[in-house]
Amino acid sequence: MNPLPLVTRREVTERLRAKSFLISTGIYLLVALAAVVIPHLGDDKKAIYGVGLTGPDAPALERALGQLAPALGVNVRVQRVPDDALADALATEAVRNHRLTVALVDGNQIVARGDVPDSLRLLLSTAVYQVRLARQLGAEVSAVPSPEELPEQRLTEAKPLRTKNRPLAYAGVIIIYLLLLTYGFTVANGVLEEKSSRVSEVLLGALRPSQLLAGKVVGIGCVALVQLLAVGLPTAGVALALGSFHVPSGTPLTLASVILWALLGYGLYSCVFAAAGAAASRPEDIGNATAPITILIAVTYFAAIACTQSPDTQLARIVSFIPFMAPMTMLPRAAVGHVAWWEVPLSVAIVLGTTYATTRLGARVYEGGIRRPGPRLKWRDAWKSAAA
């Protein structure tokens, strides 16, 4: 019987039943839903201001308000008061009785119950200025000369960035970053727990070290996928229901890229984290053992954020082909910027080749470290112990 499914099933079963997994999943889900729902609750509909107009300029002011209000982002409901001797009094009474927000009397005075919102005051002032300026310059120009045809010089413009995909690419970078850190530490801690409890000695009596390592990595990866779906699917459903998330045209391809690079990144880093856990001897050693890896992930994260903002720079192209940085840096380049057809396959091939090398290295260090209880080992010593 192939032992790999047995080890994988053991990892998945134990970790899905753990209280820490259930609690962390619940916390992640609450935080994700809050990030979607709270901005939606705060996004109230814009107030509609009732504006009363009196005086001979009321028709011109009404047209000016209709033109300027959408540009200034102000919603108004304009009402012209009949032009008679009681027009000003009627407009003032309508404001006092809350039927109107403000009244613009004869285009010279604003009547309001309290403070006038700045946006509404700017709208009224601009409309009055426009009407007065039109009166001074004349309402119409009788004859307009025909414009002369000017020579043209067309410049070659660079292709515009796909900025609509930027939020999704940024979210994908964060997901990969959290995945590598969270489940990388999970792999390292899991290896150290088995080593400290001597469970690994029992398991290694029936399994090869590479089989035990592969089963652990695959099992924890399955748990990560379950947690990601448990948090992501409800959050995406709520966001779509509330209208908080608009799906751009490149969303399916970007989502597929997030999944691809998340899997490649986890496969690349997980065996290195496992080797770090096997080289440690106590839980207190995990931080020091994994420090170089976490620093590399943090540096890669900041590089990926820079690639999200400027995906077509020379530096972005370089870091997207560095194996340990490619899972987070190639994603925004492909989603937001412009890449040649061969760049993504080449980056994937480089990551896969590096993953194979790190798997061999991690399995060798894992084999040597898991059999050596006692003080923390250097990777070189663990390598030599495996060779012996």
What is the three-class DSSP state of 284?
Answer: helix
The whole-number pLDDT of residue 142 equals 42
Q: Cα–Cα distance between 344 and 321 in angstroms, integer?
A: 9
Contact yes or no for 103/52 (Cβ under 8 A): yes
Sign of CA dihedral 163, 164, 167, 172: negative
Contact yes or no for 278/382 (Cβ under 8 A): yes
Q: Which two tokens stand for residue 237?
A: 């459903």
In angstroms, what CA-CA distances link 357 with 191, 328, 330?
A: 20, 20, 21
The whole-number pLDDT of residue 46 equals 60
Read off the pLDDT of residues 344-385 as tens digits, 9 standing for 90 and up. 999 999 999 998 888 877 777 777 766 666 556 565 665 665
* Phi, psi values for residue 52, rounded to 5°: -100, 140
The whole-number pLDDT of residue 113 equals 82
Amino acid in position 202: V
What is the three-class DSSP state of 121?
Answer: helix
With CA atoms as reference, report the closest residue to 332 among 306, 368, 295, 361: 306
Q: Cα–Cα distance between 379 and 377 in angstroms, integer?
A: 6
* Phi, psi values for residue 49, rounded to 5°: -95, 130
The whole-number pLDDT of residue 264 equals 92
Do the bridges between strand 109-112 and strand 102-105 make them parallel or antiparallel, or are there none, so unpaired?
antiparallel
What's this model's pTM, rounded to 2 decimal places?
A: 0.67
Residue with tokens 């990551």: 351
The whole-number pLDDT of residue 163 equals 75
The whole-number pLDDT of residue 352 equals 93
Q: Give CATH for domain 48-135.
A: 3.40.190.10
Contact yes or no for 334/341 (Cβ under 8 A): no
Read off the pLDDT of residues 216-238 as tens digits, 9 standing for 90 and up. 888 998 998 898 889 888 887 88
What residue ranges of the chain have pLDDT lower than 50?
Answer: 43-44, 139-144, 146, 155
CA atoms within 13 A on the CB side of 149: 0
The whole-number pLDDT of residue 133 equals 78
The whole-number pLDDT of residue 143 equals 42
User: Taking the domains of the chain in order of start, what are their residue ranges?
Assistant: 48-135, 161-387
Q: Strand 75-80's sheet: what is its strand order?
A: 75-80, 48-53, 102-105, 109-112
Residue 323's beta-bridge partner residues?
A: none
Average pLDDT along the chain: 80
